[in-house]
Chain A
Amino acid sequence: DVKVTQSSRYLVKRTGEKVFLECVQDMDHENMFWYRQDPGLGLRLIYFSYDVKMKEKGDIPEGYSVSREKKERFSLILESASTNQTSMYLCASRDLTGSNSPLHFGNGTRLTVT
């Protein structure tokens, strides 16, 4: 089974702090994704990556950046955390067989910015 591991289940940060969310997958998947999930809004794509050192903006990239230095690891960075970034963050990976492949999600990081 694919395992996607997010380093923290819960994080509490102060406004203005730089925040790192880490995600590691163990199935050699090319594609990795960061989503945020808010009540009533569904999952929204922040950034995704096709390969090492490659990244593409999703639907809501403002205030975020990403890093993919190794194939198995995809990091989400909040440059200066704000209260409107309080959310559940989900990392996912998928192999390179087109849109029929399922996403494999981590269990999420619930971030609170105060």
Chain B
Amino acid sequence: KNQVEQSPQSLIILEGKNCTLQCNYTVSPFSNLRWYKQDTGRGPVSLTIMTFSENTKSNGRYTATLDADTKQSSLHITASQLSDSASYICVVPQFGNEKLTFGTGTRLTIIP
């Protein structure tokens, strides 16, 4: 069964600290994995995509990693800001069709 599991479910950190969110998937065959950020009361917005051949990709203070062998991805946030408070959702498509498997998300709260 295609699954995407995220951990932790929720995380609270102090402003300025770093954190890492995890995503494990069993979707096969694998083509890519995408991270979305969902602010409260808004729809998800794409942060970054990791394709099969990529190991690390940075987007400002966000760095995503992918280990296709262990089927794991992580999203590392550096020097967190209050605006990073959001849910972060990991999504993996079922190869060759429009069906996406969504993780249940990590709810990140940054406190001053």
Q: Give A residues with C-beta under 8 Å from B.
A: 4, 31, 33, 40-45, 48, 50, 56, 58-59, 90, 92, 99-100, 102-103, 105-108
Contact = CB atoms under 8 A, between A and B. Distances in A.
Given A44-B102, A99-B96, 5 more contacts: A31-B98, A42-B102, A43-B89, A58-B99, A102-B34
A108 B95 contact: no
Given A41-B104, A42-B103, A43-B102, A99 B32 contact: yes
Nearest to B94: A99
A100 B96 CA distance: 11
Contacts of A100: 31-32, 49, 51
B42 A42 contact: no
Interface string B12-34: 00000000000000000001101
A99 B99 CA distance: 9
9 contacts: A31-B98, A41-B104, A42-B4, A43-B100, A56-B98, A99-B96, A100-B49, A102-B49, A107-B42
A41 B87 CA distance: 13
Given A100-B49, A100-B51, A45 B99 contact: yes
Contact of A99 (B41, B95, B102, B104): B95
A102 B49 CA distance: 8
Interface residues of B, number: 25
B92 to A, nearest CB: 9
Contacts of A105: 43-45
Contacts, number: 54
Nearest to B99: A45
A103 B44 contact: yes
Contacts of B104: 40-42
Interface in B56-72: none
Given A100-B32, A100-B51, A102-B34, A4 B43 contact: yes
A106 B38 CA distance: 11
A50 to B, nearest CB: 8
Contacts of A99: 31-32, 93, 95-98
B81 to A, nearest CB: 22
